[in-house]
Amino acid sequence: MAKLIKLLAVSAGSGFLLGAGIRAGAAMAGAVANAGAFSGVLSGAKAATDEPIARSGPREEALEQRLSSLEQRLSQAAFFEQGSEALEDRINRKITRLETDLAGQMSAITELRECSLRNEETVRRLLATLERLIGSELARTPGPVRTPQPLEPSAV
């Protein structure tokens, strides 16, 4: 981008210098024409000044074309830069939203893990309590353990 601006500045500066030179040559030709004392020199000077002006016309046009081309490139570069900035802003917003969602999901996973550990501990305590209860009941009953008979289905 800096090179483009330098190139644009150099081209514009060259165009201004060329235009000033052409104007100075034209002014000198006008001064010589107004002098009138040197008619022979006048016609030679006029021919000499007309010729560079005619030659500089295509140069000036070429410089104008280059300048307009550079201006167009500069406007395109500015357009693309604005577009890339807008795209970058949209991407940054989406990334921020994804990071926020991810943080929420991570906290939910952590909470679920903690609940799972608490439930596991509760089940362990329940099993230990049941084992003690069953063990104490077995210790209290002195005889053989009777197995319950399956219930017969009643005829309804």
Per-residue pLDDT tens, the chain, 156 aa: give them. Answer: 656 565 555 555 555 555 656 666 666 655 555 555 444 544 554 454 444 444 467 888 888 888 888 888 888 888 888 888 999 999 999 999 999 999 999 999 999 999 999 999 999 999 999 999 988 877 777 666 566 677 777 654
Q: What single string gives the DSSP state of each residue in 52-109?
A: HHHHHHHHHHHHHHHHHHHHHHHHHHHHHHHHHHHHHHHHHHHHHHHHHHHHHHHHHH
Query: Residues near 138 by Cβ (< 8 Å), separated by ≥ 6?
Result: 145
Question: pTM for the whole thing?
Answer: 0.38
pLDDT of residue 129: 94
Alpha-carbon span 29 to 47, nearest angstrom: 9
Alpha-carbon span 15 to 62, nearest angstrom: 10
Q: Which one-letter amino acid corresponds to residue 132? A: R
Q: How many CB atoms lie within 10 A of CB 29?
A: 19
Alpha-carbon span 80 to 59, nearest angstrom: 31
* CA-to-CA separations, 148 to 49, 131, 151, 152, in angstroms, rounded: 131, 20, 9, 12
